[in-house]
Amino acid sequence: MIGRFALAGVVIALATPAWAVNKDIERLQMQIAALQGQIADLQRTAEDNQREIKRLGDTLTEQNAFLRKALQDRRLQDDALQTALKEFGDRVSELEERLQQPAPAAAALPAPAAAGPEAGGGPGPGLAPAAPPSRELYSQAYADYARGNYDLAIQEYREYLRNYPSTDLSDNAQYWIGECYFSKGRYDDAIEAWNQLFRDYPASDKLPDARYKKGVTLERLGRRREALVEYRAVVERYPNSEAGRKAREKLNP
C-alpha cells in the first residue's frame, strides 16, 4: 500500500514540471504573437507616415511652384513696365529734339523704314519647338489651375505627361487633371482621370487623395453606395492619412 502511494507521488512530481513548462511555452508563444502584431502595426503606421510625408512634400513643391510662377510673372510685368517707360522716355526726348530743330530740318527727316516680313523673328517653318523643362511646364500647369484656367491647365498637364511620363511629378500631373475636371463639374471625366492614375501609377502617394475625391465625385453623381466603397478603401488602406481622416468623417457624419 505504501508503495502505491510512493509511486503516485513520483508520477505527480514528474508530471508537474512538464505541465508548468508547457504553460510557460504557451505564454511565451502568446507574447511573441502579440509582439509580432505590434510590430506589424508599427510598420503599417510607418508606411502611412511615409506616404503622408511624401504627400506633404508634393504639396509643398506645388505651392513653391505656384509662388515661383507668381514671382516670375511679377518680374516679367516689372520688366515690361520698365521697357515701356524707357521707350516712352526715348520718344519724349526725340520729340523734344525735333521741336528744337528749325522747320526745314524737320521736313528733311527721313521717313521710317517699313518693317520687312521677317521682322516677326518667329521660328522657321518645319521646326517643332522643343519641350519646356519639366519643372517649368509643371509649374505653369499648376499656376493655371490655381488661377481657375482649368482647360489650359489640363492641356499643360497632358503635355507634361506626353513629354515626361515617368518623373516624380507625373502621377501628380495625372491627379491634377482629375481635379481640373472636378472643378469644371465634369465628374465622369474626373473619375476617369483618377482611374487612369490608379492604372498607370499604382504606387503613387496621390492614391489616398484620388480615392477620396473619387468618392466625393460619386456622391455628386448620386452614386452613394459606390462612394462608400471608396471611402472604406481609403480608411482601410491609408488610415493615418489626411484622406483617411476625411473618409472616416464621410462614413460617420
pLDDT of 206 strictly over 90? yes
- Name, in order, each residue with C-beta under 8 angstroms of 190's C-beta and a sequence gap of 6 or more: 178, 179, 181, 182, 213, 214, 217
Average pLDDT across the chain, whole number:
80
Q: What pLDDT sits at residue 114?
A: 46
C-beta separation of 181 from 155 below 8 A: no
Q: What pLDDT sits at residue 78?
A: 62
Residues in the chain: 253
**In this structure, how many other beta carbons lie within 10 angstroms of the beta carbon of residue 228?**
16
Report the Cα 32 to chain-centroid distance in Å: 40
76 pLDDT band, cuts 50/70/90, is: low
* Cα 182 to Cα 194: distance, rounded to the nearest angstrom: 11
**In this structure, how many other beta carbons lie within 10 angstroms of the beta carbon of residue 226?**
15
* Cα 84 to Cα 228: distance, rounded to the nearest angstrom: 58
Name the least confident of 93-97, 105-109, 163-167, 177-181: 105-109
C-alpha cell at 99: 521741336
251: nearest Cα among 233, 238, 237? 233
108 pLDDT band, cuts 50/70/90, is: very low
For residues 221-241, give the mean pLDDT: 97
DSSP conformational letter for 167? S
C-beta separation of 162 from 196 below 8 A: no
C-beta separation of 141 from 160 below 8 A: yes
The answer to whether the predicted template modeling score (pTM) of the entire model surpasses 0.85 is no
C-alpha cell at 10: 513520483
pLDDT in tens, 54-75: 888 888 877 877 777 667 566 5
228: nearest Cα among 245, 244, 243, 216? 216
Phi-psi region of 121 (alpha: psi -120 to 50; beta: other; left: phi over 0): left
- Greatest pairwise CA separation for the chain in angstroms: 155
pLDDT of 177 strictly over 80? yes
**In this structure, how many other beta carbons lie within 10 angstroms of the beta carbon of residue 48?**
17
pLDDT of 156 strictly over 90? yes
C-beta separation of 250 from 215 below 8 A: yes
For residues 190-203, give the mean pLDDT: 98
